[in-house]
Amino acid sequence: MNVCIVGTGYVGLVSAACFAEMGNRVVCVDVNPSVVETLKAGKVHIYEPGLEELVRRNNEQERLHFTTSLEEGMADSEVVFITVGTPQAVDGTCDLSHVEAVAREIGQCMTAPKIVVDKSTVPVGTADRVRAIIAGELGRRGVDIAFDVVSNPEFLKEGDAVGDFMKPDRVIVGSDDENSAKVLGALYAPFARSRDKLIIMGVRSAEMTKYAANCMLATKISFINEIANICERVGADVSEVRTGIGSDSRIGYSFIYPGAGYGGSCFPKDVKALISTADAHGYDARLIRSVDEVNNAQKHVLADKIIAYFAEQGGVSGRTLALWGIAFKANTDDIREASSVEVIRDLTGLGMKVRAFDPVAGERAREELGRLANLEIVDSQYEMLDGADALAVVTDWNQFRNPDFARIRTLLAAPVVFDGRNLYQPVRMGREGFAYFSIGRTP
């Protein structure tokens, strides 16, 4: 099949590379010429395990192409995916300007029937809006070309994006048109191998499914974080409680890991967007609003523990914290809405010096946080511990899971560890001679 993908972010580029890998001819369109040049050279501008190899191979084998021209991208394509960014607007709603601009250009370039697919995360009703924009442009040109707009939300996770796309739990196709659903079903057949993985539904239900899924997952995380906060106060251990409740198959083990709050470009934005959508339709989404509030507070829990610990020793001002993990989670260089940023802001704002290390997000952090006073972003995991008053772990990178504790103890000025992801066992840390503070577990 000939496919055009507009936007080469995580969703666009991963979808393009995976469709190409299955033998389709895919043209990726991006407005940024330097991104297009980088991709043509077989390099990838985002950090995503396994993606660069996939892009390079399919590029070399001429199934994957890159261009800045939507007209060129659309020329032979039966299906056009919109995978551009939908950032959060200042008022918490979803900013659709990029999606709308692409829809306008599609209407201006279309010369033959197309299936247009909304894959960006977009509020309910956007497919209708895209349809109206394209129809408006065709009308202005005085041409009558058949087209359909389908909703096909994406559920991949950063860091596992290629694997998630190749082996999805489900593929959602929101379409009121039998032929469009059939074409999308054929395109996804190599991925959604068992028939029941392809779920066809109404367009608005598909759009809503994306928000409901992300809000449900965010709810699980805020729920366990709230339980963790109660555990600390009553002397229970949230890790034990997690195992206890996860064993109930109705609850399950996944996405109930407590921590320093959820971040990234999806949960925080999508939770706020659904609250706004509900508001706009006269409904107060109280539960989802609370999920957001709990998370906003949770991002400060680790810094509060550090502040409380040093309060008895004259405060954090002038002291140095070594911080491991800046990315919003492991296996990504993405620091959008990362909990580390709140920890850093809280502490540097009080005059604490923070030395931060991340296995891959250091460069990005330097670009975005480099100007913050009292913050130094460093490249070595151990040397940065030298003389620091404590270590805080904020991201669950594997290389932090089993570190050289003896070396940490020797380098730190005092053996104090704050663990925002519960990577270590309190008993072991006690045995290793550390004062150890984690989430939802009494020291």
Task: Judge contact between 385 and 378, C-beta under 8 A.
Answer: no
Q: Judged by CB under 6 A, does residue 263 bind ligand UGA?
A: yes
Tokens standing for residue 46:
């985002």
Which of 147, 257, 357, 437 binds ligand UGA (CB under 6 A)? It is 257
By beta-carbon proximity to ligand UGA, the closer residue of 143 and 216 is: 216
Q: Is residue 336 marked as binding? A: yes
Annotated catalytic, 4?
Answer: no
Q: How far is the CB of 145 from ligand UGA (least distance, A)?
A: 31
Q: Is residue 81 marked as binding? A: no
Q: Is residue 256 marked as binding? A: yes
How buried is 91 (Cβ within 10 angstroms: 0-12 exposed, 13-18 middle, 19+ buried)? exposed
Q: Helix or strand or coil: residue 368?
A: helix
Instruction: Give dist(CA 362, CA 239) in Å, integer.
Output: 30
Q: How far is the CB of 260 from ligand UGA (least distance, A)?
A: 8
By beta-carbon proximity to ligand UGA, the closer residue of 132 and 216 is: 216
- Span 215-234, contacts to ligand UGA by CB under 6 A: 217, 221
Q: Judged by CB under 6 A, does residue 255 bind ligand UGA?
A: yes
Q: How far is CA 393 from CA 104, 401, 439, in A?
A: 46, 10, 11
Site string for ligand UGA, 144-173 (x = CB under 6 A): ----------xxxxx---------------
Tokens standing for residue 27:
């043209």
* Helix and strand element counts for the chain (H, E): 17, 14
Sheet of 147-151, strand order: 64-67, 25-29, 2-6, 79-82, 114-118, 147-151, 171-174, 198-201
Task: Judge contact between 316 and 352, C-beta under 8 A.
Answer: yes
Q: Helix or strand or coil: residue 424?
A: coil
By beta-carbon proximity to ligand UGA, the closer residue of 214 and 348 is: 214
Q: Is residue 43 marked as binding? A: no
Which of 94, 162, 266, 390 binds ligand UGA (CB under 6 A)? It is 266
Candidate ranges 111-119, 250-258, 353-361, 426-434; the one touching ligand UGA (CB under 6 A)? 250-258
Picking from 2, 173, 162, the residue whose alpha carbon sits closest to that of residue 80 is: 2
Residue at 340: amino acid letter: S
Site string for ligand UGA, 318-337 (x = CB under 6 A): ----------xx--------
Which of 267, 400, 424, 436 binds ligand UGA (CB under 6 A)? It is 267
The count of C-alpha atoms lying within 13 angstroms of the C-alpha of 146, restricted to the half-sphere facing its C-beta, is: 5
Residues found near ligand UGA in the complex (CB under 6 A): 121, 154-158, 214, 217, 221, 255-257, 259, 262-264, 266-267, 328-329
Catalytic residues, by residue number, are 266
